[in-house]
């Protein structure tokens, strides 16, 4: 039941007496200290990582030290995505760029733990991976990471860790929450305002010298807890696994490091509180950090135009503006739908500022569509500024804003369409700037497999039947704008070069060897053509953040200019 406040024994402090090798969700310093303590007492003990085991073993045991080349045979298991264990090796190539690494799939026969085989000119090493079959909420089998132990005779068994126990206890409590709607007018939920999940785990983050990569058990547990909550409520409400309309309430996992594993859960009011903020307008073009809501509002006010306002579920203002231009071009611009994606907001405001000054194209702008999620994003960044924070992704009701049925914050899009019948919607987004995993739920985030490794700034184009011509023009100018940004192109090529080593099949086309894109005909979009940008921006700062919002800005300006020229008959 909730509220919950429990402590859990730390597995590392009470290892089985007969264990010679154990795999735990612990960082390297703690594992090394346990091995040293065991040696002092005359015991032989190896403590290995249960998370990204191959990567840790290669680094910690020097398996590729001075090797000019290596073959890594990774297990392929029926019922798992083919690349699952290949993805767990990421980003080895970047860590050992002097070694030519080849991946070779190796079917696993189902007996014993699956194993990698690392073959170099000097040695061949087997690396077992601690996993066990469990079930998802729909009863489907998943191969989950777990603690494990082997004794002197080589017998192995599941060793329940505090990391797994915290996750299991939280899921149990979520399953017990009553399905009593807060509002009789919304019988399908939400069922609570906000569920705070505070967990303490002993594992430290480990930065890697590759882009924004970091081995973080805290971040992985946040992801597992948040998306498990979505899956639990989807199942309880009889919804499909890809359904984004599920409304259950706001779930906020906050994971911190500490010596005593702990889980605390409580239901709280999600009502917005007064946020005293400076309403100055920080400079946009060189911004290296996400903006506060007050700064976003100040920039929006500076645009002028016809303001329109909705109200979020928690009571925050959701604001947009319509700026009329002198020409025939009509464009809708939106950002902040998924509030942990922060570069789109700045790119949208920059573009709107310039379009308003030029005065040619008519446009609507919704710069922060999900302010309740954005409040959670800011809150979580105070503890972990570089994590992905997907608890801020959806609205406080629990649903994706685009599935809000015109209620609360989703009404802002209806208001934008009422103000302007735009030809094109540029819907600005972002995605994780580093690897996204769910170790206790099959490793690859369910339903988001294409997002697990960054592949640079890319585009998703959707168009209605009969609008392929306009869609092609939108895509062409957007791709040209991005390829005209040398820093972004270099970043994309670097990310794609690493991505292609771990993902065996591309699910996208590639423009100019640097910009991924997809094109889909659909009847589901509210505008004839929708262009979605995706920048690897969860959560970055500094020059990389500037490059991200520069890409967002360039795309909006290019599409606006094309619409203006096309309307005047000057665009072929």
Q: Are 535 and 344 in contact, with CB atoms under 8 Å apart?
A: yes
Neighbours of 389 (CB within 10 A): 30
Identify the pLDDT of residue 525.
Answer: 87
Identify the pLDDT of residue 35.
Answer: 95
Q: Could you give phi then psi for residue 130, rounded to 5 degrees?
A: -75, 105
CA distance 191 to 381: 26
Q: Could you give phi then psi for residue 308, rounded to 5 degrees?
A: -135, 150
**Sign of the CA dihedral running 371, 374, 375, 376:** positive
User: What 8-state DSSP symbol labels residue 413?
Assistant: H
Identify the pLDDT of residue 543.
Answer: 98
**Degrees (nearest 5) of the Cα angle 281, 283, 289?**
100
CA distance 501 to 492: 14
**All residues at 6 or more sequence positions from 196 whose CB lies less than 8 Å from its CB, including other chains:** 252, 254, 264, 265, 266, 267, 268
CA distance 478 to 515: 10
For 283-323, where are the E strands, in sequence order? 306-311, 317-323
Indicate the pairing of strand 100-107 with strand 115-119: unpaired
Which of these, 176, 235, 179, 171, lies nearest to 199 by C-alpha position? Answer: 171
Which of these, 188, 194, 197, 196, lies nearest to 247 by C-alpha position? Answer: 188
C-alpha distances (whole Å) from 163 to each of 8, 9, 50, 334 are 9, 10, 10, 39
Which of these, 159, 173, 191, 209, lies nearest to 50 by C-alpha position? Answer: 159
Identify the pLDDT of residue 275.
Answer: 61
CA distance 88 to 79: 17
Identify the pLDDT of residue 271.
Answer: 76
Which of these, 303, 296, 348, 295, lies nearest to 321 by C-alpha position? Answer: 303
Which of these, 206, 511, 539, lies nearest to 391 by C-alpha position? Answer: 539
Q: 293-567: which CATH topology?
A: Aminopeptidase (3.40.630)
Q: How many CA atoms lie within 13 A of 232 on its CB side?
A: 22
Q: Tokens standing for 181? A: 């709607």
Domain regions of the chain by residue span: 8-164, 293-567
Three-state DSSP class for residue 194: strand
| Consecutive 10-residue averages of pLDDT for the chain (572 residues) | 91 93 97 94 94 98 95 96 96 95 94 95 96 93 97 88 98 96 92 97 96 97 98 93 89 97 94 66 94 96 96 97 97 98 98 98 98 97 97 96 92 98 98 98 94 97 97 98 98 97 95 98 93 98 98 98 89 62
Which of these, 338, 396, 410, lies nearest to 194 by C-alpha position? Answer: 396
pTM check: above 0.85? yes
Q: Tokens standing for 141? A: 């089998």
**All residues at 6 or more sequence positions from 469 whose CB lies less than 8 Å from its CB, including other chains:** none
**Degrees (nearest 5) of the Cα angle 432, 434, 436?**
70
CA distance 407 to 412: 9
Identify the pLDDT of residue 270.
Answer: 79
């Amino acid at each position: 039941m909730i509220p919950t406040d429990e402590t859990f024994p730390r597995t590392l402090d009470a290892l089985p007496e007969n264990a010679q090798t154990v795999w735990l969700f612990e960082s390297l310093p703690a594992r090394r200290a346990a091995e040293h303590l065991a040696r002092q007492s005359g015991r032989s003990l190896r403590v290995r990582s249960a998370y990204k085991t191959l990567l840790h073993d290669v680094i910690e045991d020097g398996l590729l030290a001075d090797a000019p080349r290596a073959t890594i045979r990774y297990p392929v298991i029926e019922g798992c995505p083919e690349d699952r264990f290949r993805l767990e090796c990421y980003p080895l190539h970047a860590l050992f760029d002097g070694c030519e690494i080849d991946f070779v799939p190796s079917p696993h026969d189902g007996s014993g733990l699956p194993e990698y085989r690392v073959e170099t000119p000097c040695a061949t090493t087997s690396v077992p991976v601690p996993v066990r079959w469990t079930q998802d909420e729909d009863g489907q089998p998943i191969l989950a990471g777990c603690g494990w132990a082997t004794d002197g005779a080589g017998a192995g068994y599941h060793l329940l860790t505090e990391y797994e126990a915290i996750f299991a206890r939280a899921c149990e409590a979520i399953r017990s929450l009553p399905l009593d709607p807060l509002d009789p007018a919304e019988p399908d939920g939400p069922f609570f305002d906000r569920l705070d999940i505070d967990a303490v785990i002993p594992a430290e983050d480990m930065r890697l010298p590759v882009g924004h990569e970091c081995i973080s058990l805290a971040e992985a547990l946040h992801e597992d807890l948040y998306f498990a909550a979505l899956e639990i409520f989807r199942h309880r409400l009889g919804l499909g696994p890809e359904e984004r309309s599920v409304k259950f309430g706001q779930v906020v996992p906050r994971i911190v490091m500490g010596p005593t594993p702990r889980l605390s859960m409580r239901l709280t009011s999600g009502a917005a509180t007064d946020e005293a903020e400076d309403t100055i307008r920080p400079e946009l073009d060189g911004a290296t950090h996400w903006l506060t809501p007050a700064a976003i509002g100040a920039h929006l006010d500076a645009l002028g135009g016809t303001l329109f306002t909705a109200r979020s579920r928690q009571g925050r203002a959701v604001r947009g503006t319509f700026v009329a231009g002198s020409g025939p071009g009509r464009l809708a611009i939106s950002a902040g739908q998924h509030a942990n994606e922060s570069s789109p907001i700045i790119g949208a405001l920059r573009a709107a500022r310039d379009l308003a000054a030029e005065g040619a194209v008519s446009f609507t702008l919704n710069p922060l569509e999900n302010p309740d999620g954005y409040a959670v994003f800011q809150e979580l960044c105070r503890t972990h500024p570089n994590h992905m924070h997907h608890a801020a992704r959806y609205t406080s009701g629990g649903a994706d804003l685009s599935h809000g049925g015109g209620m609360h914050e989703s009404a802002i899009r209806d208001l934008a369409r009422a103000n302007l019948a735009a030809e094109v919607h540029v819907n600005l987004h972002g995605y994780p700037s580093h690897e996204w995993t769910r170790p206790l739920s099959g490793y690859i985030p369910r339903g988001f497999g294409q997002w697990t490794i960054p592949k640079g700034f890319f585009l998703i184009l959707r168009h209605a039947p009969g609008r392929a011509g306009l869609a092609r023009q939108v895509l062409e100018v957007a791709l040209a704008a991005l390829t005209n940004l040398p820093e972004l192109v270099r970043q994309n090529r670097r990310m794609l070069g690493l991505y292609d080593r771990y993902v065996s099949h591309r699910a996208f086309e590639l423009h100019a060897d640097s910009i991924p894109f997809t094109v889909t005909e659909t009847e589901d979009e509210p505008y004839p053509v929708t262009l979605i940008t995706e920048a690897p921006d969860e959560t970055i700062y500094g020059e990389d953040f500037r490059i991200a919002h520069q890409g967002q800005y360039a795309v909006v300006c290019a599409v606006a200019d094309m619409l203006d020229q096309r309307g005047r008959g000057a665009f072929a």
